[in-house]
Amino acid sequence: MELTFSVHGYSCDLALHPISARTVRLIEEHGAEVYSMKALNWWRKGKTATWGMRIDNFCSIKVTLDKEPAPFDQSLITAYPLRIRRRMFLDSKAKYLCVLGFDNEICSFSWVWENVRTFDPSKLSFMVHQWDRIMGERDYFILDEVRYDSEFADLHNWCDPAGFTLVPPRIIDLDQVRAELERGAPEHKGAPFPSPDEPHTAIVRPG
């Protein structure tokens, strides 16, 4: 049998970049204009990007076996999100991170496994990031990868991308984040991570 897991909705390509105090001042001065500046042309490069499909009220999810609908509990997708703690940053000397990218490109993405003998929904596993505190939005889930019976999909299909707008750059003060986490603050739920010289505030983006 052919097993297909499909999502239609918003895709995102977001990156967390360690930046210097000088770049912080540049972003504070120019805002979204930094995307067109040479200093930040590398936002989509390296290993700091997270691409995936947003799991929210807008997205549509289908699971099929040989193109026929198969039973599936969608709540399983976001049941066990990954921790957002990036040890490579928190254990480093970096003082600031900048969030760059987009999160509103409408498209479809599917994972396909061929020659599946039997279907057991519990064998679907999901790599999901929860970025509430990074993006300032409650229940901000990003589906990064899907496996069935511990196996990666045989095929990946990305269809009908419709364009996107870039998010305003957001700066995160890592020293304040380290202090919060040391006091036992949650890593992925709650108010946005603090920006430089900015008090801890409530979530401002609608959920």
Q: How confident is the model at residue 207 (pLDDT cuts 50, 70, 90)?
A: very low
Closest-CA residue to 134 (of 81, 83, 170, 105): 170
Is a pLDDT exceeding 60 seen at residue 9? yes
Assess if residue 194 is contained within a domain: no
Task: Specify if 163 maps to a domain.
Answer: yes
Residue 76 in any domain: the answer is yes
Run of H or E residues at 144? strand 141-148
Check whether 194 has a pLDDT greater than 90.
Answer: no
In a domain, 198, yes or no: no
Task: List all residues 6 or more positions away from 198 whose beta carbon is below 8 Å from its beta carbon.
Answer: 173
3-state secondary structure of 111: strand
**Per-residue model confidence (pLDDT) at position 39:** 52
Domain that holds residue 156: 3-182
User: Quick check: is 191 in a domain?
Assistant: no
pLDDT in tens, 45-87: 656 678 899 999 999 999 999 999 999 999 999 998 876 545 5
112 in a domain, yes or no? yes
Q: How many CA atoms lie within 13 A of 126 on its CB side?
A: 24
Q: How many domains, the chain?
A: 1
- The runs of H, that is alpha helices, within the chain are 21-30, 87-90, 132-135, 174-182
Evaluate whether residue 120 is within a structural domain.
yes
User: What percent of the chain shows pLDDT beyond 90?
Assistant: 51
Q: Is residue 56 assigned to a domain?
A: yes
